[in-house]
Amino acid sequence: MSERAREERRQGPALVRGKFLPDSTYDERLLDQRGSTEWLHMDPWRVLRIQAEFVEGFGQLADLPSAVTVFGSARTHPDSPDYALGVRLGGALARAGYAVITGGGPGCMEAANKGAREAGGVSVGLGIELPFEQKLNDYVDLGIEFRYFFVRKTMFVKYADAFVVLPGGFGTLDELFEAVTLVQTGKITKFPIVLLGTAFWRPLIEWITESLLANGMISPEDPKLLYITDDPDEAVQHIVDSRRQADQVALESRVQAASAQQNGT
């Protein structure tokens, strides 16, 4: 068959010919109640589910007061000092008026939710579907379960003014370095990131300085993106001060812009 005469079909913005030609239309498949449900697991359908997760997340979280997201190990035992630190942190954040957002799981996440809840604050858990049975911890007052890690991570950033990171493993490091990268690349600005627990985090800071900085992998100002302390109250104070400073800078630039407009410059 000549190239010109080939059968083709339009599927929305796509044009398909040859072996891409389907043997039924989208409408036929949509209206067909029988048949395989395999299509439910195909990528275009997944996109809708992903979209739905974003819509649900945005809708549920839009009315939160200023919030801080707390990360940390899922494995921390309730009797451990890190758990106690998490509870103190959750309490300090709540007393400063911040909602506390965590991954909704056990360990440090539970600790921060517990502290927030006991101090009368807003305690939020953004859970994740995992291959083993798991439920949101008992101290979560507003909980959302996500299917996709990346959707959930967007919520952690979008609805928080800052991150505080307790000791943790791969999941915690993933969340920490995503946040640092977003700040480093200017995707989020004036976003304090606090590492709580100096004995645990100091070696990482040293490696960042002695290996990353020394080899030119980051800029000299980049290590300053991380604030490290043992004191939950100091962590909260740092967040409050950073916010105040950012608001001040924003106000000054608005005043400057307004007066430039008035002067016609």
Instruction: Tell me which amino acid residue 82 is.
Output: D
**Minimum distance, C-beta of residue 71 to ligand ZJS, in the bound complex (Å):** 4
DSSP states of 93-160 as a string?
Answer: HHHTT-EEEE-S-STHHHHHHHHHHHTT--EEEEEE--SS-----TT-SEEEEES-HHHHHHHHHHT-
Question: Do 99 and 124 meet the contact criterion of CB atoms below 8 Å apart?
Answer: yes
For residue 53, give Cα distances in angstroms to 58, 64, 158: 8, 18, 14
Nearer to ligand ZJS, 91 or 105 (CB): 105
The residue of the chain with the least Cβ separation from ligand ZJS equals: 171
**Minimum distance, C-beta of residue 32 to ligand ZJS, in the bound complex (Å):** 38
Nearer to ligand ZJS, 129 or 210 (CB): 129
Provide the token pair at 74. Answer: 């899922």
Nearer to ligand ZJS, 161 or 175 (CB): 175
Widest CA span of the chain, in angstroms? 76
Nearer to ligand ZJS, 103 or 121 (CB): 103
Please state, in angstroms and rounded to a whole number, the distance separating the CA atoms of residues 42 and 40. 6
**Minimum distance, C-beta of residue 80 to ligand ZJS, in the bound complex (Å):** 13
**Minimum distance, C-beta of residue 177 to ligand ZJS, in the bound complex (Å):** 12
**Minimum distance, C-beta of residue 156 to ligand ZJS, in the bound complex (Å):** 7
Nearer to ligand ZJS, 91 or 106 (CB): 106
Please state, in angstroms and rounded to a whole number, the distance separating the CA atoms of residues 106 and 74. 5
Nearer to ligand ZJS, 22 or 81 (CB): 81
Please state, in angstroms and rounded to a whole number, the distance separating the CA atoms of residues 104 and 136. 5
**Minimum distance, C-beta of residue 214 to ligand ZJS, in the bound complex (Å):** 27
**Minimum distance, C-beta of residue 196 to ligand ZJS, in the bound complex (Å):** 13
Q: Could you give the dihedral angle defined by the CA atoms of residues 210, 214, 218 and 223, in that order, rounded to the nearest 10 degrees?
A: 40
Nearer to ligand ZJS, 142 or 213 (CB): 142
Residues in touch with ligand ZJS (CB under 6 A): 71-75, 103-106, 109, 127-128, 130, 134, 168-172, 175
Provide the token pair at 70. Answer: 């707390």
